[in-house]
Amino acid sequence: MSVSAHIVGFMPVDAIWKKMKQAYDACEEAGVSVPEEVATFFGDGNPKDPGREVDLEKSGCLKEYRDDSLDGFEVDLSKVPTNVKIIRFYNSY
């Protein structure tokens, strides 16, 4: 069994999320395509969960750290997207 460490940002529900969700729901109800901006906001284009995860590596604020016998991650807080309020560290087995 192997262990994999992960770090993701999380944007909780806020006014912007609610507006994007309204736009998504309106498009779904009308049977029209969801605008690219709305789909991109929700990552996979589906606001199934309240809030959303943010790939910190893609935003440029997360990188692997290695030094002598240390392996880990560095999070550059100055580069974290502004709506990220939670940074989630987890291991998967």
Q: What is the pLDDT of residues 76-86, one digit of tens each?
A: 999 998 889 99
Higher-confidence residue: 87 or 83? 87
For the stretch 5-23, pLDDT in tens is: 889 898 888 898 899 999 9
The type of residue at 40 is T
pLDDT of residue 44: 65
In this structure, are residues 50 and 13 in contact, taking their beta carbons and an 8 Å threshold?
yes
Q: Is the pLDDT at 45 greater than 70, yes or no?
A: no
Percent residues over pLDDT 70 in the chain: 98
Place of tokens 């997360």: 62
Give the whole-angstrom CA distance, residue 74 versus residue 39.
29
Structure-token pair, residue 18: 């609610």
Q: Is the pLDDT at 65 greater than 80, yes or no?
A: yes
Q: Is the pLDDT at 70 greater than 90, yes or no?
A: no
- Whether the pTM exceeds 0.95: the reply is no
Give the whole-angstrom CA distance, residue 52 versus residue 23.
16
